Structure 1
């Protein structure tokens, strides 16, 4: 977790929740629009660009979630759905990158020179076939990304009466501590969720990760100063996020590998990769059980 403020000035220097929301949203949008144009007109598989695009979509989702009590529910949910659609459209590219990274790590663990030569050739052929079939079935056309994004921007530029619950905004503006109270409330809910989550329930664990990352983004975007206990909690969330992310990537990799095998058939090289992924996932699960904080 980076303890530095994302926008470098504290909450107290801004006027009210609407202004803080608008200013933060504007700064993210400026960066995102440039990156999206670069993505759609350039190299769509560029790993760092895809990663940055996904981060900023999640930042926007975190902001909408944080200010949810003040935003009109229908508008917020429809806007969130569009952002999630954008994330899904980039999801396959990101998942394939993670699969290739895992494959490279597995390949590096092999000892026989002949096997190390045969394995990447088998994988490249299988993965190429899978990508072609998958993109034909469900690939999101790159040109559609910008049109969805413009719709998001149009919604964000809607009149304030469409976005905000004015009475709640007025009450929050009269309180100098709305953001801090909201963050503490989210912290309590997350701690309760963590205390009760079953580490073997992959869906629940993944939802914990998403909620934790949203809280981290919100704290980062809002800036201000937090006490040491809160900072320690954010760092704990970061550790959870990284570990659960690796476990989730392993689960996704196994699913992708199964789809690859449907197209190309099972081979000794792919089966070895499967066993490697299973072992990595089990190792992550063991670490997670020790990391989770229980009551």
Structure 2
């Protein structure tokens, strides 16, 4: 097990090393400037289209309505990225990691916009009349047959990621909390989750989108209200918090309490890495 952990750590250091972070943020900056700050100029239009996309007629040309597609994406990012991700980023990289999460989100909007635009443009229709798309399809159809192998690799790695960050992390967190708080055995939690997830997945993409469209809005609203409540209760600390985050983003974080301290590179690394999990931009 120790050997496996060391191997995973070595791979993790390469994947989330300086080169990858520069590539991800650099791509976001390139697309933001290349699109002439399209995502910033049309932010209000995007929110208006969000609500218009709730009707069934909005999804006549696809498997899901735009609203349900968004909720399906948010279902996997609010927990792993916005809640657990923020906590682990601060724990590992210090308060300054939040600043780099904000930066990742700003340029990540252009990356995410481009990913979705390409996925819709290069999607295919199966013989059964269903739409299929994603990075593997716009790699194959956009870059040509000679890059088809890269699309295949993306599909394989995406499947592996679904078991890792998508299932293992979240089910472990759920079972751990229920065991520690209520004493519910982990195997019972696992069985219940298996049955619930199977009942959704076996219904196909439309059922996944339908369930996400009903559950995720409440989850997002609860998360937002809880966050606002915490901010309101500590409103006097907010200005100092912003200054502290910005200061720590460019200076080493001193060790204090149970925190071991962090370098600027650690703040950048963990902030950007968790920022990607929070919005999926460039996750592939």
TM-score by length of 1: 0.22
TM-score by length of 2: 0.23
